[in-house]
Chains A and B, each alone.
Chain A
C-alpha cells in the first residue's frame, strides 16, 4: 500500500536524518514551593508520645539533591526497642485486641484522610529526603499511600469474608522494617494491613529516609490512635537487628535487599516468628515484534527510570525480539534524550537524585563492570546539577546472560538489553535469574500474554504496561525475591495466624 513512498528513501539519506532534541525551548525552573514543615530534630514515637532516644544518639538525614543535612534523626538503641515492644504489647492488650473491626476501620479511614489533607507537604518532604522527583511523590507515592489506608480500612470489619470458614487471629505486636525507595508508601503497605487485621506495630524506616515516617507519627496523634498501637523507631541496621531479634515481635515483615533478607531468615529460623520478605528483583521486560512499539518504549522507560530505578520490581532487563531490536533501541535513545534529570523539587524533573552516596557508588561500580565485560554503554548527554548525587539514564547493549549487569540488581537508572528469537528463548532468558518479583510482556496478541504470564516465574506479570499498582492487587516474589504477599486479600492473610 505504501508503495509510492518506497521509491524515495535512499540508504545514505536514511542514515543522515536525525531528530534534534536541543535547547531551542528550554523550560525555566518550576520549583514546588509548598512548605514541608520540617523540624530541626525529630523524636521517636513510642506509646503515643514523642520521646528522645534513650540511646541519646542522633544522626543526620541528608538531602541527596543538595548533599545538605535536613534534620537530626534519633538512633534507637536497645532500651528504645524494648520500650517500643512493651508499648505495642500493652496497646494490643488494652485497646486494639478489644476493638471491633468496624472501629479499627474508622481509624484507618481517618489516617487516610489526614494523609490526603497534608499530601503536598508530605510529598515535598519525601522528595527532599529521598531524592525522588516531586511529580512522582505528588502523583504516585502520596495518593497510593492514602489509597492503601482506605482499602484496608474497608477490610477491617470483613475479615471473615477474606478467610471464609477459617479460624484466625492476629499475631499481636509485629516488627516491620522498610526500605528507602518508597519510604511513606512502604510504611502504608506495612501498617495498613497490620492494623486492619488487629495487630500492633513497631516499624523502622530506612536510615536515609526517616523523615516522612516520623512526620507520619504526627498524623497518628492527630487521628487519636490509641497509644502503643503504632510505634515508629528510626535507626540503622543495628536497630533493625534489635527488632528482628526481639522476643516481643511475633512476626517480622521486611522489605529490602536479598542479602539482609537472608540474614533475617536465618535469625528468625526456629523462633516461631511469622515472616514475610519482599526482596530484590531483576525483572525482564519482554517485547515481541508485534508490540505497539512506541508504547512499549514508553513502558520500558517507565519500567527502568521510574524513581531513578530504585524500584525492586524495576524492569532492569529488556528482552527484545531480534527482528525489531535495532529500531527499538533507536527509539529508546530518542526517548532518553528528552528525559530531564535534576532538582527533585522541580515539577519538570523526570529523574531525581540517587538516594545516597553509597548507592551512587554501587551503581558506578556495576556500570564499570558492564563496560569491562564488553557491553556497549549509552548514556544521556543531559547536564547534571553540580551538587548532589545524580546519575545519567544509561542503557547497555550487547548484554548476555553471563554479564554481571544481567544478573545483579543495580537499583539505579541502568537498563541491560538482551535479544531473543523465539518465545521459548524469551521465557528461558527471562527466568534465568535468582529473582522472581515481576516481569513485563509487550505484544498485540492476547494469547501470547496468557502463555507468557503462566510461564514467567514472577509474582507480578504486567501486560502492555509496567509499574502499575493498586491496593487491591497482591504484590510479592518467587525465589530470592522473597515470600508473602502485600496488597489485596492475600495481604490480609499474611498478618493473620490461621488454624
Chain B
C-alpha cells in the first residue's frame, strides 16, 4: 500500500525522499578541489585521461559538413606532435550523424547526437522519439536528450520519468545521456532530486549530463558534485553504476583536472574512465594539447600552433 502523503506535492515528496543539499557547505567542499596541486607525471596522466573523456562538440546553427569533417579529423588525431588517446566521441546535431559516422571511418570514436528537441525539449513526445530513432538508425552510438524542465518545476514528475524511460527504449543499444539543464532547475536540492528521478529509469552505463551549453549557467564544480554524490548514493543502494557528463563552461585544463579530482575523491577509481565520465566541450581540447606540449617540450607554444578549425581561443 502506498504511504499516505497528506497535501504534499510530488516534488516535495521526492525532495524529502532524497534529502537536502546545503548550498554553502557544498560550495566550500568543491573549493577544496581547486587547491589540489597536480604536477609532472600525474598532470600528464590526468590530461591524457581528459582527452580520452572528451565529447568533442559542435552544436551551432551554422554547422556545415565541412566543419563536422574537420571536427572528426581532430577527434581521430588531436595533435600533430603529441601522442594522445583519441577523444571519446564527437557530438553533433541529428542532421550531421550520417556524415560524422562516415568521416570517422573505422576509428573507435563514438558518434553522439543531441536529440529530443534540443535544447528546449518543448516538442511533442512523438516527434522527440522519432528524432531519437532516426539518429540511432543513422549511426549514433549515444543520444543526448533533454528533460522537460517545466514539467519538473510544476511537479509533473511521472511524466518526466515516463519520457526518459520511453527515450531509453527508443535508444535500443545506444547509450542515453539525460541532460538535466541544471541552471534551469536552479537549486542544488532540485538537481539532486532530478538526478534520482532519472537514475531510477536509466540503464547501467547511461549518463546524467549537466547542461546543454545553451543557457546562461553551465557545469560547475558544485553542480557536478551534487550529481556525483547522487550517483554514488544510488550505486551503493542499487548496484547500478550511472555515468556523468558535465558540459559547457569547461574551457581549460586546470578546470578539467579539478573536475577529475572531484570524481577521484567522490566516486573513486572506477569512474576515472570514459565509460563513466565525459566532458562535453569544444574549446577545451586545444588547451589540453597546449599543456601536453608544454610538459613535453618545456615551453608554451603560441595559440596559433594549434588547429583552430572548431573553436576560438
Distance between Cα atoms of A294 and B45 in the complex (Å): 29
Judged by a CB distance under 8 angstroms, whether A25 is at the interface is: yes
A360–B39 Cα distance when bound, in Å, is 31
| Residues of B contacting A135 in the complex (Cβ-Cβ under 8 angstroms) | 35
Q: A28 vs B45: C-alpha distance in the bound complex, in angstroms?
A: 11
Task: Provide the bound-state CA to CA distance between A299 and B238, in Å.
Answer: 27
Q: Contacts A19-B232, A25-B42: A292 and B268 contacting too (C-beta < 8 A)?
A: no
Residues of B within 8 A of A454 (CB): none
Q: Which of A3-11, A87-95, A416-424 contacts B (4 or more CB under 8 A)?
A: A3-11
Is the CB–CB distance between B237 and A294 below 8 Å?
no
Q: Which of B21, B42, B229, B270 contacts A28 (CB 8 A)?
A: B42
CB distance from B77 to the nearest CB of A (A): 25
The answer to whether B238 and A8 touch across the interface, beta carbons within 8 angstroms, is yes
Q: How far is the CA of A5 from the CA of B200 in the complex (A)?
A: 5
The answer to whether A19 and B236 have CB atoms under 8 Å apart is yes
Interface of B is mostly: helix
Say whether A359 faces chain B, with CB atoms less than 8 Å apart. Answer: no
Report if A5-B238 is in contact (Cβ < 8 Å); known contacts: A19-B268, A24-B272, A347-B35: yes
- The number of chain B residues with a CB under 8 A from chain A is 52
Given A8-B240, A338-B264, residue A26 in contact with residue B22 (CB < 8 A): no
- The answer to whether B200 and A28 touch across the interface, beta carbons within 8 angstroms, is no
In the bound complex, residues from chain B placing their C-beta under 8 Å from that of A26 are: 42
Q: Are B40 and A25 in contact (CB under 8 A)?
A: no
| Contacting residues, chain A, for B235 (C-beta < 8 A) | 17, 19
**Interface-side segment among B10-18, B102-110, B114-122, B135-143:** B10-18
> What CA separation (Å) do A17 and B17 show in the bound complex?
22
State in angstroms the CA–CA spacing of A9 and B264 once bound together: 25
CB contact list, B173-227 vs A, under 8 A: 196-197, 199-201
A19 touches B270 (CB 8 A): yes
Q: Is B36 an interface residue (CB 8 A)?
A: yes
Residues in A neighbouring B199, C-beta threshold 8 A: 5
Q: Does A270 contact B (CB under 8 A)?
A: no
Indicate if the CB atoms of B237 and A9 lie closer than 8 Å.
yes
State the majority secondary structure of interface residues on A: loop
A25:B49 contact, CB within 8 angstroms: yes
Contact A295 B21, beta carbon cutoff 8 Å: yes
Of A4, A14, A24, A29, the residue contacting B200 (CB under 8 A) is A4
- With A4-B200, A25-B46 already in contact, the answer to whether A14 and B21 are too (CB < 8 A) is no
Nearest CB in chain B: distance from A143 CB, A: 13
Interface string of A339-355 (1 = CB under 8 A from B): 00000000110000000
Is A272 close to B, CB under 8 A? no
Kindly state the separation between the CA atoms of A334 and B13 in the bound complex, as whole angstroms.
28
Residue of B nearest to A302 (CB): B28
A-side contacts of B158, CB under 8 Å: 1
Contacting residues, chain A, for B268 (C-beta < 8 A): 19-22
CB <8 Å contact, A294 and B229:
yes
Judging by beta carbons under 8 Å apart, are A30 and B239 in contact?
A: no
The residue of chain A having its C-beta at the shortest distance from the C-beta of B25 within the complex is A295
Q: Which residues of B contact A298 (CB under 8 A)?
A: 25, 28-29
Contact assessment for B17 and A295 in the assembled complex, using a CB-CB cutoff below 8 Å: no
What is the CB-to-nearest-CB distance from A113 to chain B, in angstroms, rounded to a whole number? 24
Number of A-B residue pairs with CB-CB distance less than 8 Å in the complex they form? 127
The docked-state distance in angstroms from the alpha carbon of A13 to that of B43 is: 36
User: Given A1-B197, A20-B270, A348 and B37 touching (CB < 8 A)?
Assistant: yes
Bound-complex Cα distance A10 to B237 (A): 9
Q: How far is the CB of A207 from chain B (nearest CB, A)?
A: 31
> Beyond A28-B42, A299-B25, A464-B25, is A14–B239 a contact (Cβ under 8 Å)?
yes
B24 at the interface (CB under 8 A from A): yes
CA distance A209 to B38 in the complex (A): 30
Given A14-B239, A17-B235, A292-B17 contact (CB < 8 Å): no
Q: Chain A interface: which size bin? A: 35 or more
| B43 CB, nearest partner CB in chain A, Å | 8
**With contact pairs A8-B238, A295-B22 given, residues A1 and B232 touching in the complex (Cβ less than 8 Å):** no
A19-B268, A30-B39 known; A292-B236 Cβ under 8 A: no
A25 touches B200 (CB 8 A): no
Nearest neighbor of B273 in chain A, beta-carbon distance: A24
Within 8 A of B (CB), among A246-300: 290-295, 298-299
- Contact present for A25 and B272 (CB under 8 Å): yes
Minimum CB–CB distance for B1 against chain A, Å? 13
In the assembled complex, how far is the CB of residue B167 from the closest CB belonging to chain A, in whole angstroms?
Answer: 14
Please give the distance in Å from A6's CB to the nearest CB on chain B.
8
Interface residues of B in 120-164 (CB under 8 A from A): 157-158, 161
Give the chain A neighbours of B22 by CB distance below 8 A.
292, 295, 464
Do A4 and B46 touch (CB < 8 A)?
no
Contacting residue for A348 out of B26, B36, B46, CB 8 A? B36
Instruction: Answer whether residue B269 sits at the interface, using C-beta atoms and an 8 A cutoff.
Output: yes
* CB contact under 8 A between A139 and B38, given known A1-B17, A19-B270: no
**Contact residues, B246-282 vs A (CB, 8 A):** 260, 264-265, 267-270, 272
Query: Which A residues from 8 to 51 make CB contacts under 8 A with B?
Result: 8-10, 13-14, 16-22, 24-30
Q: Which of B49, B196, B238, B269 contacts A20 (CB 8 A)?
A: B269
Contacts of A24 in B (CB 8 A): 264, 269, 272
Instruction: State which of A22, A29, A292, A338 has its C-beta within 8 Å of the C-beta of B19.
Output: A292
Q: How far is the CA of A8 from the CA of B204 in the complex (A)?
A: 11
Q: B303 on the interface (CB 8 Å rule)? A: no
Min CB distance A406 to B, Å, is 26
B172 on the interface (CB 8 Å rule)?
no
B13 and A1 contacting across the interface, CB-CB below 8 Å: yes
A166 within 8 A of B: no
CA distance in complex: A290, B18 (Å): 11
- State whether A30 touches B25 (Cβ < 8 A): no
**Shortest beta-carbon distance from B25 to chain A in Å:** 3
Residues on B with beta carbons closer than 8 Å to the beta carbon of A13: 238-239
Q: Which residues of B sit under 8 angstroms from A294, Cβ to Cβ?
A: 21, 26, 29, 229
Residue of A whose beta carbon sits closest to that of B11: A1
Question: Contact between B269 and A27 (Cβ–Cβ < 8 Å)?
Answer: no
Interface CB pairs A-B, < 8 A, 8 = A1-B10, A1-B161, A3-B200, A5-B201, A14-B236, A27-B36, A28-B43, A295-B25
Other contacts beyond A1-B10, A24-B269: 18, CB < 8 A:
A1-B200, A2-B197, A4-B161, A4-B200, A5-B234, A10-B239, A17-B236, A19-B236, A20-B269, A25-B49, A27-B38, A27-B39, A28-B39, A28-B42, A30-B37, A293-B19, A338-B264, A465-B25
5 closest A-B pairs by CB: A295-B25, A30-B37, A5-B200, A292-B22, A347-B37
- Show the binding face of A for B, using Cβ within 8 Å: 1-5, 8-10, 13-14, 16-22, 24-30, 135, 139, 290-295, 298-299, 330, 334, 338, 347-348, 444, 464-465
